[in-house]
């Protein structure tokens, strides 16, 4: 069963850029099933959702979501960025880096695999799209990066999940109906974020029009 706080809607019926929380406690039933949340309804949710969802309507709002996440990060945190080509993973990293006071331009490391940026925390930005097999990750020195005290963001990180620590955050960017519409899913794996999720959820709820 999945408990949620339903996403808000504009008068025209389109989702507004506001927050939905999910905590998966079993399988997800069809609409109207016992425990399902009706449209416009709010269910009781546990103190730590395992997933936060934010609908955004512009690249700037997507960067704002990234910035909120960056402000909650600590040294050693690992974030996986997933989504189709053109979904905005590098745009997300730009908003993330700006919140860490990174001053240099943030670009995709598709061909170099790894960019390092100095800010309030060191930001390691990796892109593993071109890796052919898991053994290729050895050259990235992921263990050293994660122990360096910085924050590591890996575009296409779901493709190398088997060699990554269990404790991480997965950010999925899903294309919406409009050119700049995105659904940002932030899933928390492990217990490393247990004391930060509630505050992050409050900050994300303030992005864009209120629900």
Q: With 50 as the cut, is the pLDDT of residue 187 above it?
A: yes
CB count within 10 Å of CB 47 equals: 8
Q: Which of 30-39, 54-63, 79-88, 158-167 has the lowest mean pLDDT?
A: 30-39
- DSSP strand pairing (114-117 vs 123-127): antiparallel
pLDDT digits (tens, 9 = 90+) for 150-162: 999 999 999 888 8
Please provide the average confidence, as pLDDT, over all residues in the chain. Answer: 79
Report the alpha-carbon angle 112-114-116, nearest 5: 125
Q: Around Cβ 86, how many Cβ atoms within 10 Å?
A: 10
pLDDT at 117 over 50: yes
pLDDT band at 167 (very low <50, low <70, confident <90, very high): very high
Looking only at the bridges linking them, the beta strands covering 151-155 and 123-127 are: parallel
User: What's the pLDDT band for 210 if we cut at 50, 70, 90?
Assistant: very low
Indicate whether 2 pLDDT > 60.
no
Higher pLDDT, 27 or 169: 169
pLDDT at position 87 is: 95
* pLDDT score recorded for residue 78: 96
Q: Which two tokens stand for residue 27?
A: 């399988």
Mean pLDDT of 167-183: 95
What pLDDT was estimated at residue 103? 96
Tokens 């025209």 — which residue? 12
CB-CB contact of 51 with 21 (8 Å): yes
Assigned token pair, 97: 């880096």
Q: Is the pLDDT of residue 49 over 90?
A: no
pLDDT at residue 131 in the model: 79
For residue 203, what are the contacts with CB-CB under 8 A and spacing of at least 6? Answer: 68, 71, 72
DSSP structural state of residue 163? G
* pLDDT (average), residues 102-124: 93
């Amino acid at each position: 069963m999945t408990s949620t706080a339903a996403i808000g809607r504009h008068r025209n019926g389109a989702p507004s850029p506001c927050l939905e929380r999910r905590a998966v406690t079993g399988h997800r039933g069809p609409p109207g099933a016992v425990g399902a949340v009706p449209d416009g309804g709010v269910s009781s949710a546990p103190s730590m959702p395992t997933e936060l969802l934010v609908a955004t309507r512009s690249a700037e709002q997507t960067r704002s979501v990234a910035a909120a996440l960056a402000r909650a990060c600590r040294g050693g945190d690992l974030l996986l960025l997933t989504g189709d080509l053109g979904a905005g993973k590098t745009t997300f990293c730009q908003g993330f880096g700006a919140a860490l006071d990174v001053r240099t331009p943030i670009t995709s490391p598709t061909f170099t695999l790894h960019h390092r940026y100095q800010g309030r925390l060191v930001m390691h930005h990796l892109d593993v799209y071109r890796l052919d097999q898991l053994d290729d990750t050895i050259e990235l020195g992921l263990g050293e990066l994660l122990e360096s005290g910085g924050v590591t963001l890996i575009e296409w990180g779901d493709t190398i999940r088997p060699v990554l620590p269990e404790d991480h955050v997965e950010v999925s960017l899903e294309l919406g109906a409009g050119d700049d519409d995105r659904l940002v899913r932030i899933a928390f794996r492990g217990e490393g974020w247990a004391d930060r999720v509630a505050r992050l959820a409050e900050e994300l709820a303030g992005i864009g029009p209120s629900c």
